[in-house]
Amino acid sequence: MKTAGTGFKLAMVAVFMTLMIAGGLPLREHRQFPVEIVCGPGVKEIRNLSDYLPSLKGTAADTPVFILSGKEPGGAVLVMGATHANEPEGLLSVAIMIENAVVEKGTVFLIPLFNRSASLNTRPGEGYPLYFSIRTPWGQKKFRMGNRDASPLDQWPDPDVYIHYPEKQMLSYLDIRNTNRTWPGRRNGLPMEQVTLAAMELLRQQKVDLAIDLHGAETMFPVTNCIVAPEKSMRIATLASLTVKSMEGFENHLESSPQKFRGLSHREIGDYSDTLPFLLESPIPFLDQPTGAKTEQLFLDGRDEFLLNLSRKKKLFVPYDESGWSLDRRVGQHLSVSLEIIRQYSRKNPDRAIVIKNVPRYSDVVNDGLGSYFHQPASADKSRVVKL
């Protein structure tokens, strides 16, 4: 048997150092990669979630809140993206609003990366790409692909069983890092409980009428391509669903928020504030388990031969054909449904109306491509560029 001499040890250390640097550097770069957003003419103020809960200040969980306000007083809406950072449709929809929207009446609060720590987390074990890029008229715009849960670098250890506060329901240990299980949050809780509590404080202090949480889900999961709403939001959600179907030609069915499943935004925001919550799900073929390789292309166009086969066997919960389910469609749906919820609420409550202009709708995004609604950070006024 050969002995482990100094030469062998040095050679092995060199091999392992090379492997660790080759594997570790991309992860480190991902955590430091800035997503640049160009503030449009509607952005009047930028705050942080820590302004509503100071204990978040200086942590990776703190995240910017963009405030767009109109000349006329009215109602208020909060739109959140990247509650789950592996569902970037929300981030892209909110970013398009930040870069383009002009508010004429009321106030719009926009949080593009609600779980910012999760956006710094990766999922290389499942073969997820670290980034994705979208084509714009001025070149490729690159975004971090995040994970569903906050990074263990920012919140750890996980409990054996996560006991939800304040309802005491027992949930999976992993969900303590999932900001769609930690609503309504806890002041002295773990960082993700503080993130949701900060958002609850924002909703209460600013008397926000509507909260829209943007998500995406597998095509094989029944709660996909839909609006999830509790009883108090159902009327507005129904009107929005019917209107986008009749006027814009796409389905977005309704799902009732379960009363006994705790921690979700569409349940707890409604139960613990006066705000009407809505959670939008768009279908993301990339998230399905039985697909081919998890490539950037699959994320962008949503085309997969295995899903197509399953669709023919009626195993999917959305219509699916050779055209797949593109990112443009997913983002377009989110924008149209969000605008429709706001419009329907404003019609029913004229004294609390919110009027937003310049936000593209479904057909605009599908026809023009979502990249055409992003502005080039390099040629923008530096004071208007925010790095997330």
Partner 1 sequence: MLARIIMVAYYLISAFFVLVTVQNLLREKDSRDRVVLYLVTLIPFILRLLRIK
Q: Which residues bind partner 1 (CB under 8 A)?
A: 1-5, 8-9, 12-13, 16, 20, 24, 27-28, 31, 122, 153, 155-157, 188, 190
Residue (189 or 369) nearer to partner 1, CB = 189
Burial annotation 169-182 (CB, 10 A radius, 16+ → b, else e) = eebeeebbbbbbbb
Cβ proximity of 179 and 150 under 8 Å: yes
- At 373, is the secondary structure helix, strand, or coil? helix
Nearer to partner 1, 15 or 378 (CB): 15
| Residue 358: Cβ-neighbour burial (10 angstroms; 0-12, 13-18, 19+) | middle
What CA–CA distance (Å, rounded) separates 62 from 139? 30
Peptide bond into 166 cis (omega under 30): yes
Nearer to partner 1, 56 or 276 (CB): 56
Pair 215, 180: CB distance under 8 Å: yes
CB of 3 to partner 1, least distance (A): 6
> Residue 359 and residue 361: Cα distance in Å, rounded?
7
Shortest reach from residue 157's CB to partner 1, in Å: 6
Q: Which is nearer to partner 1, 190 or 279 (CB)?
A: 190
Question: How far is it, in rounded angstroms, from Cα 388 to Cα 376?
Answer: 15
Pick between residue 12 and residue 378 the one whose CB is nearest to partner 1.
12
Helix (H) or strand (E) holding 77: strand 72-80
Kindly tell me which of 13 and 170 has the beta carbon lying closer to partner 1: 13
The CB-of-5 to partner 1 minimum distance in angstroms stands at 8
Q: Please, what is the minimum distance in Å from the beta carbon of residue 32 to partner 1?
A: 11
In terms of CB distance, is 3 or 246 closer to partner 1? 3
Least gap, CB of 92 to partner 1 (angstroms): 26
Least distance to partner 1, CB of residue 16, Å: 4
Report the alpha-carbon distance of residue 86 to residue 242 in Å, rounded: 29
Nearer to partner 1, 15 or 247 (CB): 15
d(CA 108, CA 357): 12
Least distance from C-beta 31 to partner 1, angstroms? 8
Minimum Å gap between C-beta 178 and partner 1 is 16
Nearer to partner 1, 153 or 247 (CB): 153
Shorter beta-carbon distance to partner 1: residue 5 or 58? 5
The whole-angstrom separation of Cα 43 and Cα 70 is 10
- Cβ within 8 Å of residue 313, ≥6 positions away: none
DSSP string, 126-161: GT--SEEEEEETTEEEEEE---SS--TTTS-PPPSS
DSSP 107: E
Q: How far apart are CA 220 and CA 308, in angstroms?
A: 12
Smallest distance from the beta carbon of 55 to partner 1, in angstroms? Answer: 11
CB of 24 to partner 1, least distance (A): 5
Tokens 């963009």 correspond to 66
